[in-house]
Chains A and B, each alone.
Chain A
Amino acid sequence: MTFHVAKGEVVALIGSNGAGKSTLLRVVSGLIKPSEGTVEFAGVPIHQLAPERVVRLGLVQVPEARQLFPNLTVLENLELGGYLFGRKHIAASLPDMFDRFPILYERQRQKAGTLSGGEQQMLSIARALMAKPRLLLLDEPSLGLAPLVVEEIYRAIQALNEQGTTILLVEQNAMGALEIAGRAYVIETGRILLSGDARELMAHDDVQRAYLGRDYQHKWER
């Protein structure tokens, strides 16, 4: 399988549960070493690097189900996100995070585990942003969130992109992902079956049938 993300893009990997999307993302972020093949970031092969080296290069993953430290405060979680880059960097970045997500400013002394699902997701993204990503990897950012909260998260992702962060997004929520992505790849059982412009994919029969949850039963007829 081969795919690419160009600077400044929002690219989505969509596909049903078990298609291999999250595995793919973990290979990109260095959490899983590929048995064969290569991952290059800005022309540098990174598939043999330790995950923290990958983060230093500017490739930061926001994990699925958020994986925050629930017993630490919001502030402490954010500080951990910038840990690799030192105190000065953390101090300089915090105001920007609070501007971006005012709710986190309000709750900075609160334990992360007490936040709502949407707030936890925002914290998770903000924590990743503390590591100065050039490419932000997002694994199912809409998982388990109410539709209105999902919209808010997506708006935040779009804003990030507009300010220059390149984004690779893994989503089961195909419709949502295609709305914010410029391009997308459709993955099924470890294979890319479609790729292209997100808007075109949204209108594609196969995508509608398989992922957009509409009643496209008749399209199965051959």
Chain B
Amino acid sequence: MAQATIGYRSREEIRQLQMEQLQVTLNRAYFNVDFYRRRMDALQLLPEDVASVDALARFPFTTRQDLAAHYPYGLFAEPLKSIVRLKISNPTWLDQDRPIVVGFTRHDVGMWQSLMVRLYEQLGIRERDIVQVAFNFSLFPGAFTFNHAAEQLGATLAPSATISATLQLQIMQDFRSTVLATTAAFALHLAETLERQGLDPSSLHLRLILLGPDPLVESTRERLQTVFQVPVYGLYGVNEMVEPGVAGECPAQDGLHLAEDQFLAELVRPATGEPVPDGHEGELVLTTLTAEAYPLIRYRTGDITVLREAPCSCGRTSARIAPILRRTDHRLSIRGIPLYPEQVEALLRGIDPLLDDFRLIVSTRYGIGEQLELQLARTATHDFPGGSRPQYLDLVRSHIRRALGLGARIQLVAPEQLPQEGLTYKTVFTQVPRR
């Protein structure tokens, strides 16, 4: 009831609802999670001292390192008996030995699903729609939420997973799919396939395309809208909370509406943690408001965006974030697979102690990482791990594939041939020409 209409309430009403849920979250975190209790005790802070959203700033941030340090169940606020789902968050180079485990109670799972239903409804997806969901489910566990929510909505679900682009397009025609949900990278591949086959987009029945979990880049949107002749929308989620579901676009395509009944958003300067004024860039910090199993208080998402509270032209009053501009860390994404240059470095140095330097060359198209090439600089011409030089390259290639779930081109170059690294650690981006 309150949840269905949250997007249309006045800012004061939204604030009141958030304060009520915040007190519940803080109380439950204080009583049920030792980590939060110790922190609050150390600051001589009681849950009731947080009497306003501004007062929440007294509370310390929770970081990904905190989550990893309490692996596996240290931050759970509910007994395992009440947990119906566990999710392993994408491990990063920071927590190689300790992944992050997020728990969900039945209520939490229902909440996640209802958030996705809301995102669908926000885009006008109805029970008459046929929703084709094309994700690699093993790489993106949140993809199931697209399925469950489509069913809950009463739409017709066509999960097409990882079948080829040609078959996807055929299904799209034959099933008369009206909605396509997939990654930006795969949507671009579909667009190319469509053009190559000379298919007329009007032979499809598509009404809209929904892309995730990576942020939607404007040039991707333009390209896809031109090819498919339908609007293209993005959404946002946080791996350590729910992904997707935290925010999503409306038909106005002017920012992603936050689910403010479930999450309290702050925007801070990444370096100092100070609040950023409305309309300025900052790191998104989220507090869960109804999560039972895994409450997170002031969690640093690492995502840089802009937060706006002004009402949207669609009529909704919920605050909006801009599509994520960049990360506070060096996280890269290749075809939707997240990786860190530091992680690659640790891997390479582990294989070959004689390695001098390296670069990650990421080819991007429409702003999306498409291919990874590793350039290795090695002055030593002896002691190649694995035997000969070709065997060495094979060894690196297979290690990378196993560790990252990603094929990469590996090249040995002279140290002076390595390109200058950019803003991202040891990484260079090259643009593949647009077709």
Contact = CB atoms under 8 A, between A and B. Distances in A.
B346 interface: no
A205 interface: yes
Interface stretch (B14-22, B240-248, B306-314, B322-330): B14-22
A182 interface: yes
Interface in A1-45: 1-4, 37
Interface residues of A, number: 23
Contacts of A53: none
A194 B16 CA distance: 15
B107 A200 contact: yes
A1 B20 CA distance: 8
B81 A221 contact: yes
A197 B23 contact: no
B24 A194 contact: yes
A4 B21 CA distance: 12
Interface in B19-60: 19-21, 23-24, 27-28, 31, 47-48, 51
B24 A197 contact: no
Interface in A187-201: 190-197, 200
Contact of A4 (B20, B24, B80, B107): B20
Contacts of A37: 51
For chain B, what secondary structure do more than half of its interface residues adopt (helix, strand, loop), or is it mixed? helix
Contact of A193 (B1, B24, B290): B24
B198 interface: no
A204 B107 contact: yes
Contact of A2 (B23, B31, B81): B23
B16 A191 contact: no
Contacts of B24: 192-195
Interface of B: 1-2, 16-17, 19-21, 23-24, 27-28, 31, 47-48, 51, 79-82, 107, 290
8 interchain residue pairs of minimum CB distance: A222-B79, A191-B27, A2-B19, A4-B16, A193-B27, A192-B23, A195-B24, A2-B20
Given A2-B20, A192-B23, 6 more contacts: A2-B19, A190-B48, A193-B24, A193-B27, A195-B24, A218-B81
